[in-house]
Amino acid sequence: MTATPIADTFDPVAFIAMATRSGHNRTIGSRYHAHGKYPDGKGWCELALDYREDLVSDPETGILASGPILTVMDMVTSISIWLTTGIFQPQATLDLRIDYLRPATPGQTVIGRGECYHITRSVAFVRGIAHDGDPAKPIAHVAGTYFFTAS
Amino acid sequence: MAITLSPYARTMGFETSRDAEGHLLMTMPYSIAMRGRPGFVHGGALAGLLETVAYATLSEALGSDDKAVVKPINVTVSFMRGATEQLTYARATIERLGRRVANVEAIAWQDDPEKPVAVAQMNVMLSR
């Protein structure tokens, strides 16, 4: 079978606008930051999570809870897959591992960046980082896998 | 010992209770604020519930006399089934409580604890 180039139909900006209008992404207040493709065609996406006192884990330290950061990392890694394939297709998170390198600085906006680094017919492999201003000093690393539920 | 919920946990509407054996349970009532893809709870909300019940269980096990500061090292969350628009339960088991590191497993379920929707494995540092 000859491979036919498929035009990218997935629009991450429109998707994020829709996904953050209601539901859990709205609860935590995440918003679009950036997206793109690497020269090899693999996609990446960034969301911003603004600091909020009602999302902290401990009022004394003011450190952001990890739950909202995980939500952001789940979303950016998911979107990186659809950017890679160029189409939206249903998928389920198999697992997501997060390494907490250091606490987020209170008051700082957190940026989550996810990328899809390998894809098979059934599974997408993703990774990402979260930082609070300097991508060279990440607060967390993630690695995860997704399963295409329709394949 | 009373469980103090974090601002994040209160925003999420997490509630604490006990099972028949006195084991700490944490529940997450369903609302639109938890929704991920249509019809299902967001994986990030499930992960937040699992981490919260793990820390609360660890804090109880340490007791109020222990001044150890609990810091997350990492968490691996496996998602087994889609969590639907209903109440989600979670509980945690401390697999090892060392002086410097604790290993905790937390599970979340809806209808049947034998059919978890998600499981988290956590490594936690105890700074003394």
The answer to ipTM > 0.90 is yes
Give the model confidence (pLDDT) of A84-115 as tens digits.
999 999 999 999 999 999 999 999 999 999 99
- Rounded Cα–Cα distance for residues A6 and A16 (Å): 22
Is the pLDDT score of A2 beyond 70?
Answer: no
Residues 89-148 of A with CB under 8 A from B: 90, 92-100
pLDDT value of residue A5: 54
CA B99 to mean position of chain CA atoms: 22
Nearest residue to B92 via CA among B53, B118, B35, B40: B53
Residues 69-88 of A with CB under 8 A from B: 70-75
pLDDT value of residue B2: 72
Average pLDDT, chain A: 94
pLDDT value of residue B128: 85
Give the model confidence (pLDDT) of A50-63 as tens digits.
999 999 999 999 99
Is the pLDDT score of A151 beyond 90?
Answer: no
Helix (H) or strand (E) holding A6: none
A97 φ, ψ (degrees, to nearest 5): -110, 135
* Nearest chain B CA: its distance from A151 CA (Å): 17
Is the pLDDT score of A3 beyond 60?
Answer: no
Given a contact cutoff of 8 angstroms between Cβ atoms, the answer to whether A118 and A124 are in contact is yes
With a cut of 50, which residues of chain B have pLDDT below it?
Answer: none
- For tokens 């940026």, the residue is A111
Helix (H) or strand (E) holding A20: none
Q: How far apart are the first and last CA of chain B?
A: 21
| Range B7-127: architecture per CATH | Roll (3.10)
* Nearest chain B CA: its distance from A25 CA (Å): 8
Helices then strands, each counted (H, E), chain B = 2, 6
CA atoms within 13 A on the CB side of A10: 22
Write the DSSP symbol of residue A7: -
- Rounded Cα–Cα distance for residues B53 and B50 (Å): 5
pLDDT value of residue B65: 86
- Rounded Cα–Cα distance for residues A75 and B30 (Å): 20
Is the pLDDT score of A126 beyond 60?
Answer: yes
- Optimal mutation site among A74, A94, A102, A145, interface B, most CBs of chain B within 10 A: A74
Spell out the alpha helix ranges (H) of chain A: 12-19, 23-28, 66-85
Dihedral of alpha carbons B107, B45, B6, B89, sign: negative
Q: Which domains does chain A have, with CATH numbers?
A: 12-148 (3.10.129.10)
* Nearest chain B CA: its distance from A124 CA (Å): 15
